[in-house]
Amino acid sequence: MRLQDTAILTNQDISAPASYAAASKDDDVLCEVQKYRTHQITDGQMQDEYREFLQKAFKPLGLYRENFLPGASSSCYRINFRDQLVAIFRLTPVSSDSIFHRVIPGASGARILEVNNVAVDESFKGSLLLGVILKDCALLSHIKGYNFVAGVVRRQVLSVFLDFGTVPVRHEPLHVLGDPGICDYVTYFRTDEREHIDYVLARSYHYFHRKVTMSKIDADRLSLRLRAQVGS
């Protein structure tokens, strides 16, 4: 990974003024985000861990296929929470005849990265992690010179991605796993201009701020209940 890639993925850009369009700067939020670190996978041991993590996450759901494993054109990434591996994803340049070029508005002839192999440790679902992944995918797409970063998402979890701010596409349902009962849809970010990245950063900070603040509110309420029970 280039030096400038590393700088972006240390979450320095989350402190840019554009990030605070929706909520004021909160050091507690930035501290929580800083606990996550994204690294490109390069050596053999990390590649083995990647495959094991992918299989462990997908096989119980019946989603795992051998052709899900990354090819030579893919870049693979791991996210650590402190020193613990908690998520993986990969980015793959798509071919010129892909579904993304056909259904994303304005994407004909554009350079597009596909996000896939997104797998998250079960204990981190509902945390900041999905937001970290989506933010980093958009930033990586931008610094690698791509116009769009896109993915195919199952209808059942599409709203989770839209909650972060990805853009959905209305099209005939896809059936990536070959099952007509499982409908998939394209969602994307535009990443070719800095203003598009400013949007991602602002959405990211708002998402992180909301998650951290609501967690603290819930903790406050629990503390009040416990004190009330002790007092009674």
Dump pLDDT digits (tens) for 123-165.
Answer: 888 899 999 999 999 999 998 999 999 999 989 889 999 999 9
Domain holding 132, by residue range, is 3-170+181-220
Helix, strand and coil content of the chain, in percent to the nearest 5, comes to 50, 20, 30
Q: What is the pLDDT of residue 181?
A: 85
Q: What is the pLDDT of residue 3?
A: 43
What pTM value is reported for the model?
0.86
- SS3 category, 24: coil
Domain membership flag for residue 225 = no
Is the CB of residue 179 less than 8 Å from the CB of residue 153? no
pLDDT at residue 50 tops 80: no
d(CA 172, CA 184): 9
pLDDT at residue 25 tops 50: yes
15-24, 55-64, 106-115, 223-232 — most confident range: 106-115
Q: What is the pLDDT of residue 232?
A: 64
Dump pLDDT digits (tens) for 198-209.
Answer: 899 999 999 999
Domain membership flag for residue 232 = no
Is the CB of residue 152 less than 8 Å from the CB of residue 176? yes
pLDDT at residue 6 tops 80: no
Total domains present in the chain: 1
Q: What is the pLDDT of residue 137?
A: 95
Reported as type and span, the H/E element at residue 126 is none
Counting residues of the chain whose pLDDT is more than 70, the rounded percentage is: 84
pLDDT confidence of 62, banded at 50, 70, 90?
low
Length of the chain: 232
Helix (H), strand (E) counts: the chain = 7, 7
CATH number, domain of 75, equals 3.40.630.30
